[in-house]
Amino acid sequence: MTRPRFLLPLLVQLLLLLSPAAGARWQDFLRLPSEGDGAAAGTRWALLIAGSNGYYNYRHQASLSCQFLLCYASGDALPTPCHALQADVCHAYQIMRKGGLKDENIVVFMYDDIANNPENPRPGVIINHPSGGDVYAGVPKDYTDKDVNVNNFLAALLGNKSAITGGGGGSGKVIASGADDHVFVYYSDHGGPGVLGMPSDDGDGYLYAKDLVGALKAKHAAGGYKSLVFYLEACESGSIFEGLLPSDMGVYATTAANAEESSWGTYCPGDDDHPAPPEYDTCLGDLYSVAWMEDSDVHNLRTESLKQQYELVKDRTSANGSYNVGSHVMQYGDKSLDGQSMYNFIGTDPANDNATFARDNSLLRRRFSGGAAVNQRDADLVYFWQKYKKSTEGTPEKVETRRRLLEVMSRRSHVDSSMELIGSLLFGSDKGSKVLGAVRPAGQPLADDWDCLKSMVRAYEAQCGSLAQYGMKHMRSFANICNAGVREEAMAKVASQACAAVAR
């Protein structure tokens, strides 16, 4: 039977009339089968983490926002300016909420020591851009303070509520996703080869790559998702997945840096193009994180694929391919997923329905000059230097800020010198630096024996004190010591000798 030619137009008009009444957008009703975003088949979940504490790490907590949010903050032996790390996490949360994710699908791990920190010039407010608004308001704080740790993070990722531990146990929220669901994970923190930081000071302060990838494998084996996207902001972040993340389990990951380089902070004091407001002494954001979030802020994410965002973020994070500043943004895992829409994972802001993604857009022209970014590992020095420079000569504040700056620099020197001496004691003065600094070919994991790596770090810290966020840069050296067959007892002996000598 021939259908009346007016039937399809009539149905279209009917849908357009009904959808506003139902409180939905017409795009949610009219979608071609080829678009296949899969959102109707499952729930979006997101994990957002700010893995640091201390005010000079502000930028990490300011960037979190997700479908199922896990905001996380990690720590140091010395107080640090954590503004940008926490700012990243809070910003990400706002993107997810505008994208349509519900708080019941958002878990936040965040140390939460920035917004009301005495050093914050705008009490109760966190910003992630020099002229940006508050990204802290409304952010759920499911796990804070000591509840932010490796065990709870992995338990939340795996959806294992019974494994959550700690004083208050947090809200108890976990990623209870199923086989039809889409999961987005965003982790913003300090890192080093094969490791990510945590704020814990009880021996649980590092998340090792093998353990993280092991949890993702377990999540996959349990049918815990249809597809999972992992965005990782940290130094040497490529080493977390290099040679470890399989390409056949539906996980697509991008990282702020490759396995050998630092990532970068941005919107810092002294930035030539986009400086932090003068009252701020710390960076407001991270280069990779700001790139993906500012893109997500302004586009209809139904029209933008994971690959398109990856290419844009790669260009911005590398100063448009010049690498005058910045790092190499990388992809790992199942790269066949990169054709999927961003909407599948983080939704989209209705206000951007008419803002279609274009490869040659204004964000790419927002070039970062040489003064626009700071090496992640030097962000704390920027903070302490700004505090020292602004304090008045002859005041107790000037004396204290000078003491803190010198303490940070002294600790760095102690770690570097002790590791150099350990290399010489183990392998000889001619070979020590070569063995410790050796980089494996692409595609190989950092370590052969990850339990050995953990034991070497414990042996060093027992004799020499915490590596802290700066010292994580030496994780490759510890891995190479393991790969060379050195045993824990030998490491403990030379660490004791080296650190005693350096302390003299």
Among 287, 235, 286, 264, residue whose Cα is nearest residue 476: 235
Per DSSP bridges, beta strands 264-266 and 285-286 are antiparallel
Q: List C-alpha distances in Å: 246 to 160, 252, 333, 392.
A: 23, 10, 6, 55
Q: Kindly name the residue from 91, 182, 190, 474 that is annotated as catalytic.
A: 190
For this structure, is 299 an active site residue?
Answer: no
Tokens coding 14 = 């009917």
Of 82, 90, 235, 268, the catalytic one is 235
User: Is 90 considered catalytic here?
Assistant: no
Enumerate domains of the chain plus CATH numbers. 39-365 (3.40.50.1460), 392-503 (1.10.132.130)
Contact in structure between 340 and 255 (CB atoms under 8 Å): no
CA torsion 182-187-193-198 (nearest 10°) is: -130
According to DSSP, residue 299 is labeled S
Neighbours of 392 (CB within 10 A): 8
* pLDDT, position 92: 93
Placement of tokens 């100063």 in the chain: 319
- The Cα–Cα gap between 471 and 463 comes to 14
Spatial distance between the Cα atoms of 25 and 119, rounded to a whole number of angstroms: 43
- The pLDDT averaged over each successive group of 10 residues in the chain (504 residues) is 40 38 38 38 87 56 41 36 65 94 90 88 92 91 87 96 83 95 94 90 80 98 98 97 98 97 91 88 91 95 96 92 89 98 96 79 48 79 90 95 94 97 97 97 96 97 92 97 97 97 89
What pLDDT, on the 0 to 100 scale, is given for residue 198?
Answer: 87
DSSP string, 198-233: -S--SS--EEEHHHHHHHHHHHHHTT--SEEEEEEE
DSSP state, residue 278: T
In this predicted structure, what is the pLDDT of residue 86? 67
How many angstroms separate the CA atoms of 463 and 486, rounded?
17
Q: CA-to-CA distance for 187 and 255, rounded, in angstroms?
A: 10
| Tokens encoding 65 | 């926002």
| Burial grade of 268 (CB within 10 A; 0-12, 13-18, 19 or more) | buried
Phi, psi angle pair for 49, to nearest 5°: -135, 130
Q: Assign 3-state DSSP to the chain and report helix, strand, coil percentages, each to 5.
A: 45, 10, 45
Query: d(Cα 23, Cα 25) in Å, to the nearest integer?
Result: 7
In the numeric block, which tokens belong to residue 456?
């070497």
Which residue, 142, 221, 163, 154, is CA-closest to 185? 154
By the 8 A CB rule, do 186 and 231 touch?
A: yes
